[in-house]
Structure formats: structure tokens, C-alpha cells
Structure 1
Amino acid sequence: MATVKVLFLILLWKTSFLHNEAGLVVFAPSPHRAQLGENFVLPCSFKVDDPSINIQFFATLWLFQGNEVLRLDNKGTLSQPRMSINQQDITKGIANMEIRNVTLSDIGKYRCIIIYSPQKEFKDIDLSVYATPLVKIEKVKKEDKTSSALCSVMGFYPRNISVEILMDGTIMEDSVLSEHRTNADGTYSVNKTWTIPTDVSPKMLSCSVRHETLSPSVQKDLQLGYEAFLHNEAGLVVFAPSPHRAQLGENFVLPCSFKVDDPSIIIQFFATLWLFQGNEVLRLDNKGTVSQPRMSINQQDITKGIANMEIRNVTLSDIGKYRCIIIYSPQKKFKDIDLTVYGKYYILYKHQTAMYVVNAPIIKAAST
């Protein structure tokens, strides 16, 4: 029995000794670039001479700008909310850290530390973050009846950018670049404008943008042509009968239609807004539709001159004044519509031996 015990102790000593001599090498390429908002994996791997990794000797730490943001050891995992590690990958020699929803605050130096007791090795990794600009070009009609080309460049990072406005392929040197605006997420936006001379009729306006995230540069074009200039003179008339009565609980359509002199409606010039008691409840333009939960519009009807708004499951809170606004740039017209709501309640009363049911309209009492 004593001999068996001695052999076991010798075997345990040899195993520990072999582990203590196990070589440890860490691999972590650098630098890296992540796109704003994506989930990005910072790679870090390691190799030991042990035939298999003994988890009880293992730990990994990730630091960001010198502060610990993630730790994995034989007690478990601790990490910052957006950072994580796949514990099952450790036995494969992988200690990558994932950063979810990358922000500009994640820019900086990371350190991947691997401990395979008693050895400790680390690698430093630099991370930068970029955001690609969104580009839009439009023609804007001013109150003094002059027009300008407006190029909007939004949500880019880093800060350096080049923006040019072109008329029919020629750069307009007298265009004006605005100051950079800093957005809530740390990205930047700028506008560039060019006043169109009254004696000039461009067929195409373009916005060309160069930024380090764009390869090659990006150019957005706005085709004007003869049809667009006819549009500037197109008449606009809005029709919206009033008042209306809706039954409590039904889906009710508030009618609003319009007519323009253009042979066909050019959507890029169109927008409709619905107001209720002076507050916007629905908007449809070339960027899409935004509305209150129970209110909607059929976008396909616009090309037919129909801008009706449907109210689903009418309630007494829907009583009031609505305004249908039609914008067919540069013109703007509106109509006001009054809506009342009615319903039924049932009164049961007994007269001698008979029971009677009376239907009566709901009356919304004024508050006192």
C-alpha cells in the first residue's frame, strides 16, 4: 500500500513539473478597424506545450486603456456589459474578445493577457473605429424664389472629408461648406450649398464626397431636366370635405385628396403631413413614413392624388380638428377637417311586467 502511495506522489510531481515547463506563446495581430455599430471580435490566441490545456492553471484578462474589462478564470467570467468571451474556445487556444455594438468610445489600446500558471504572456492591440458617410443632394427653393443646391453629408468618422457640388459635371468653386456638426454618437455631419444663378438652368446637380472610408469617392446625382422646371410652375389644389362622424371602435378614413398640373406626380417633390389639434401625427415624404400607432396612410395611393389617413379603433380621444397638409415643392396647401365620434349605450328599465331596451347616442360631457 505504501508503495502505491509513493508511486502516485511521484506521478503527480512529474505531471506538475511537466506543466511548469510547458511553453506559452500568445498571438494577437494589430492594428484593427471596426465599423461603428457592428459586433467586432478582437483576436487573441495562445499555444502551450501541454498535450491538452488544463483549465485549472488557466486565466485570461483583457485590459482597455490599462483598465480591466474582462476576466475569465477557474472561478468564472466577469466583464463589462458589451464585452464577452466564448469559454468553450479556451480549450482550442482561442481567447478572442467580442465587443457588441461598437462605439467611438471603444477606440484605443487593448491588452490580451494569458496566464498559464506559473507563466504569463500578453499582447497589445490597437483598435480604431470608422463610420461611412451618408450623402444626399437636393434642390431647395428659397422664400425669395431663388434656388440652391444642398449637399448633406451625414454620420461620418474620422473628421476629415472633402465635399464638392457639381452642375452638369463641372465643380462649382463658389459653393460654401458649413461648419462640422458633432452628432450624439460622436460622428460628424456637414452641408455644402451652392446658390443657383437665376439665369442658369442645370440639367443635373451632383454631390461628390471623398472620405477615407470610401474607395473610390461617392457621387450622388439629382437629375432635373425639363420636367423638373415644369414642376416648379405646377398648380396644387387640395380637397378635404368636413365635418365627419365616426363610430366608436370602427376604423375610419379621413379623406384628403389633391391635384397637381404635372402629367404625373414626382415623388421626390412630395410630402404630406397630418396634424391633430396642432400636433403632427403622421408624415410621409421621400424618406419614408412616421406616424402615431393607430394612424396610417396608403403610400401607393399618393400617385393617384389620394392622401387619406386611416384611424384604427376610433376612441373618444380622436374627437377634434385635423389638418391635411400637402407639400408639392415649392408649393404647400392644407385643409382642416373636424371629426366627431358617436356610439351607443343601452338603458334597461322595467315598466310593470315588461322589460324595455332603449338605444341612445353616447354624449361626451364637457369637463367642469
Structure 2
Amino acid sequence: MRILLATTSGAGHFGPLLPFGSAFRALGHDVRVAAPRSFSAAVVRAGYPYLPCDDVPPDELAAAYEGAESKSTEEQNLMAAGVFAGLAPRAILPGMLAAFADWRPDLLVREFAELGSFIAAEAHDVPQIQVLVGLRRFHDTTKPVVDAHLGPLAAANGVSVDRLWSLPNASLVPTSFDDPGVDVIHRFRDDVAPLARSEEDTPLVYVSFGTVSAAIPFAREAFLASVRALADLPVRLLVTIGDDGDPADWAWAPDNVRVEKWVPHREALRGASAQVCHGGMGSVLGALTAGVPAVVVPQFADHPDNGERLVATGTGLRVGTSGMGESVDPDALRAAVRQVLDDPSFRVAARRLADEIAALPSAGGALDLV
């Protein structure tokens, strides 16, 4: 079977598709990825054939997000929903229609925010599964914005936007970490299991702000402030700075701080006693899958919400509220890291989540949804 994965241009959106792509390939299916051209290198690096789509013009994107730093987290999320449901599908749709016409996939598996492929699949009568990239609240609360922005484009292509809300939903987020509610989400796990743990006497704290720290000035500043705040604790720090980072810029770091451009997530968490991150769902789920508690320093989008769920489940703490230029309180961050290291209840709760994740069905089982 030919299966098309479709994503917007963000590692946090593409990441949730990868376990499904790997599982489908292991079952013998032909899997390709359609995405904006700006994301083509990431697709190729992940080992998938790439089908091109256009990006949103930078000036239009900048105008859509103008003033975002002064908005609340909820308002920022609605602004983003407008971009994902309006500007992005208009730019992406021609490439998606070409992909369906030329390659003729039998199934579409798309991350929830990529909506151009939704229209293309409906227009070509191809079944589809949407993979949620975070908590269920973003699926539930963005419907009015998505309908308003996507509806006219869908209708112009003979598609009803109402179909979007009746598609099967898949997620890697376990039920107990997700928002409470009637569970109409089919939950799966990555087939790649976490590595066996290997700990030393001095605790290891893994610090990473994912792909955002090197790309966004305020996130980069928060990342640097977080490492400086933790460097004098009696711990070992493993700090990953991304492909665009320069280890030479970290010459100030003491001997207990190891700086790398990139370390495989599973390897980094193998010996970690705690993780400090920005709160992206990929980073949070990586920690929980490994049974490692996390401390979130939120930067934007769903980061504060994911931190809130860490607190609610007893699997971690959140330092700060909304990000977007909010300065890091070094004393609060040090206290939070000490707390998750010293209080065993965080590790117990994280390992309970890890067991729940391990018991989920393989991502390959998503094929049973269509």
C-alpha cells in the first residue's frame, strides 16, 4: 500500500508522524512524505522520499503573527490556528493535489495542523487518519477558527470542512496525561523502546529546548539563562544546542556541563534523572516514555499547557507561565530541579506513565482505523 505522510514545516509536527511511518514501513508499505520545501532537508534526513509543496510567503507569515508577543497563550494559539487553517493550506494545496494526482496514495496520514492534504485527500476520495500533535484541547478548541479559515478553501475544491471533525484521530499521548474527557482518540506507542537505564552516583540532568532554542531569540536567551542557573548545582548537565549552535560559545561552562550539538533523545535520557526543556510535546513525551520526570520552562504555543499536565500528573514541574520573552527565574528553576531530583514521587509517577505508554498498541495498528 502507498501511504502518504503530510506535515507542516516544524519538527514538533513531523515528529509524531515518524513512529507511524516507521511501523508502516516495517509492515512492507511504501511511505512518502509531503511537506513545505523549507522542511525538505528534515524529511530526507529522516530517510523518506520527499514530495514538494510551497511555503507560506515570509511577509504573510510575519504579518499574521504581528503582536503575538503581547498576547495571552490562548490568543497566540488562536493566531496560530488561523495560520495553519488559512495561509498554510492555501500555499500547500497545489503541491498536495499534485502529489495525489501523480503518486496516487492509498492512504493519507497527516498531522492535525496540516490541512491542505485534508482537502486533497477528500477531493481524490482517499481515506485519511489525522495524528494529533499534542493535547486534545487543541483539537477541541480550534474548531471555530479552523472552520472559518478552511471552510471557503475546502468548498472551492468541492469538500465539506465538516468531514474534518469525523475523521479517525490517532495520538501518541497516553490517556492519563491527556485532557480529561470522553476518549474518542485512538492511542498508540512508538515501536522503538527506550534504552535500558544506566545511572551514575552524580545525577544527570538533560537540558534541551528542542529546535526552537537556536531559531528564536527569546527562546535562545531563556535556554542560556536556564543552563547558567543550573550549572552550579551538584549535578552533571548534558546540554544539546542544535545544529546551528556553536559549542565554542559555551567555553564559559564548568566541567560538569557537557555541551553537544545533538544527542539521540533515547541515549540522552538513558542515564538522566531529570529533563529540563521548553515543553514541546515531543520532548515531554520522550521523557515520560523513558520514565524521567521533567521541568518545563515554557516558551510559546502548547508549552505552558504541557507543563500544566506534568504538574497535574505529578510527573514534573513548570517554571514560568507563558514564555514569549518571559525571563527565567534562576532561583525558581534551581528549586524545581532540586525538587524533582529529591522527591521520589516524581520518578514513581513518570515510571507509571512509562508503563502506560509501553502497554499501548503499536503505531502500525493505526491501519485498522480505515
Normalised-by-shorter TM-score class = under 0.3
Higher helix share: 2
Point out which structure has higher relative CO (alpha carbons under 8 A, 6+ apart): 2
Structure of larger gyration radius = 1
Higher strand share: 1
